[in-house]
Chains A and B, each alone.
Chain A
Amino acid sequence: MSLAKRAQHESRFIDDRLGSSGFLKTQLNKVFPDHWSFMLGEIALYSFIILLLTGVYLSFFFQASPAETIYNGSYVPLKGVTVSQAYATTLDISFDVRAGLVMRQIHHWSALLFVAAISVHLCRVFFTGAFRKPRELNWTIGVGLLTLGIVEGFLGYSLPDDLLSGTGIRIGYSIVQSIPFLGSWLGFLVFGGEYPGTEIIQRLYVIHILLIPGIILALISAHLAMVWHQKHTQFRGPGRTENNVVGSRLWPKYAANGSAYFFVVFAMCGLLGGLAQINPIWLYGPYDPANVSAASQPDWYMGWLDGSTRLFMPWEFRGAGVTLSPLFWPAIIMPGLIFTAMALYPTLEAKFTGDRQYHNLLDRPRDNPTRTAIGAASIGFYIVLWISGGNDVIASTFRISLNAMTWVGRIACITVAPITYIFTKRICIALQKRDEELRTHGIESGLIRQLPSGEFIEVSIPLPDPAPIELTPAEPIEEGPSGDGARREGTLVGRAGRAVSGFFVNRETGPPGS
Chain B
Amino acid sequence: MSDSDNRETGPDSPNSPEGADRGWETGGSVFDRSKTGSGAAATGGGAGSGEQALLPAGTSRGTDRAKTAPVPAFVGPYATILAREEHPDREEVDRRSYRRGVRLVTFWFALAGVAAVAFIVLNFAGDVHKEYYTPVLGICIGVAMAGLGFGLVVWNKRLMPDEEAVQERHPLHSSPDDVVAFEEDFARGYQETGVGRHKVLRRTLLAAAGLLGLAPLAMIFNFGSIPHGELQVTRWTRGARLATRDGVALRLGDLPIGGIATVYPAIPDQNGKFVALTDNQTAADSTVMLIRLRPGEDQPVPGRETWSVEGHVAYSKICTHAGCPVGLYERTTQHLLCPCHQSTFLVTQHCLPIFGPAARPLPQLPIAVDADGYFIAQSDFIEPVGPSWWSRT
Chain A residues with CB under 8 Å of chain B are 25-26, 29-31, 74, 95-102, 105-106, 134, 167, 170-171, 173-175, 177-185, 187-197, 199, 203, 229-231, 237-249, 252-253, 256-257, 259-264, 266-268, 270-275, 287-296, 306, 309-316, 321-327, 330, 358, 360, 391-392, 402-403, 406, 466
Contacts and interface: CB of A to CB of B under 8 A. Distances in A.
Interface stretch (B76-84, B95-103, B175-183): B76-84
Interface residues of B, number: 103
A239 B40 contact: yes
B78 A26 contact: yes
Interface string B34-65: 11011111100110100000000000000000
30 contacts: A95-B128, A105-B134, A171-B322, A171-B323, A187-B227, A192-B225, A193-B230, A194-B227, A195-B323, A231-B167, A243-B45, A245-B166, A247-B164, A260-B153, A260-B156, A261-B149, A267-B146, A274-B136, A274-B139, A275-B135, A288-B283, A306-B341, A314-B321, A321-B393, A325-B388, A326-B358, A326-B388, A327-B322, A360-B169, A391-B342
Given A238-B38, A244-B168, A268 B163 contact: no
B317 to A, nearest CB: 6
Nearest to B155: A256
B360 A402 contact: no
Interface of B: 1, 4-5, 34-35, 37-42, 45-46, 48, 76-79, 81-82, 123, 126, 128-129, 133-146, 148-153, 155-156, 160, 162-169, 172, 220-221, 223-227, 230-231, 245, 262, 264, 280-281, 283-285, 287, 317-318, 321-325, 327-328, 339-343, 353, 355-360, 386-393
Contact of B39 (A96, A238, A262): A238
Contacts of B155: 256
B340 A171 contact: yes
Contacts of B79: 29-31, 249
A259 B172 CA distance: 29
Contacts of A245: 166-167, 169
A275 B322 contact: no
Contact of B388 (A106, A170, A178): A178
Contacts of A238: 35, 38-39, 41-42
Contacts of B165: 29, 31, 246-249
A466 B42 CA distance: 10
A347 B389 CA distance: 36
B322 A174 contact: yes
Contact of A314 (B134, B168, B353): B353
B357 A312 contact: yes
A207 to B, nearest CB: 12
Contacts of A247: 164-165
Contacts of B172: 134, 229-230, 358
B383 to A, nearest CB: 11
Given A243-B45, A310-B357, A196 B284 contact: yes
Most A CB atoms within 10 A — which of B138, B226, B323?
B138
A253 to B, nearest CB: 6
A292 B281 contact: no
A122 to B, nearest CB: 23
A413 to B, nearest CB: 13
Given A180-B390, A182-B390, A309-B322, 10 more contacts: A178-B388, A184-B231, A195-B285, A203-B223, A239-B40, A239-B41, A239-B82, A245-B166, A275-B138, A294-B327
B356 A406 contact: yes
B150 to A, nearest CB: 7
Contact of A246 (B164, B221, B387): B164
B114 to A, nearest CB: 14
B71 to A, nearest CB: 14
B160 A252 contact: yes
Contacts of B76: 29
A309 B341 contact: yes
A305 to B, nearest CB: 11
A244 B280 contact: no
B129 A243 contact: no
A161 to B, nearest CB: 10
4 closest A-B pairs by CB: A274-B138, A239-B38, A270-B141, A263-B149
Contact of A271 (B142, B284, B322, B388): B142
In the complex, which of the residues A26, A293, A306, A327 has the most CB atoms of chain B within 10 Å of its own CB atom? A327
B38 A264 contact: no
A239 B323 contact: no
A180 B5 CA distance: 54
Contacts of A289: 280, 283-284, 287, 318, 325
Contact of B339 (A175, A271, A296, A309): A296
A425 B323 CA distance: 43
Given A106-B141, A188-B225, A239-B37, A181 B160 contact: no
A260 B388 contact: no
Contacts of A392: 339, 342
A101 B325 contact: no
The listed residue with most A CB atoms (<10 A of its CB), out of B141, B225, B386, is B141
Nearest to A188: B224
Contact of B226 (A185, A260, A327): A185
A179 B356 contact: no
B149 A323 contact: no
A241 B169 CA distance: 10
A407 B286 CA distance: 33
A326 B321 contact: yes
Given A190-B223, A290-B283, A246 B134 contact: no
Given A246-B82, A260-B153, A274 B142 contact: yes
Contact of B224 (A99, A190, A270): A190
Contacts of B325: 289-292
B78 A25 contact: yes
Nearest to A34: B164
Given A179-B390, A243-B1, A173 B138 contact: no
Contacts of B39: 238-239, 466
A176 to B, nearest CB: 9
Contacts of A291: 325, 327
A322 B162 CA distance: 69
Nearest to A25: B78
B226 A188 contact: yes
A174 B38 contact: no
A306 to B, nearest CB: 8
A267 to B, nearest CB: 4
A264 B48 CA distance: 41
A272 B137 CA distance: 11
B135 A316 contact: no
B141 A170 contact: no
Contact of A309 (B151, B225, B357, B388): B357
Contacts of A183: 389-390
Nearest to B287: A290
Nearest to A331: B322
Nearest to B41: A239
Contacts of B81: 249
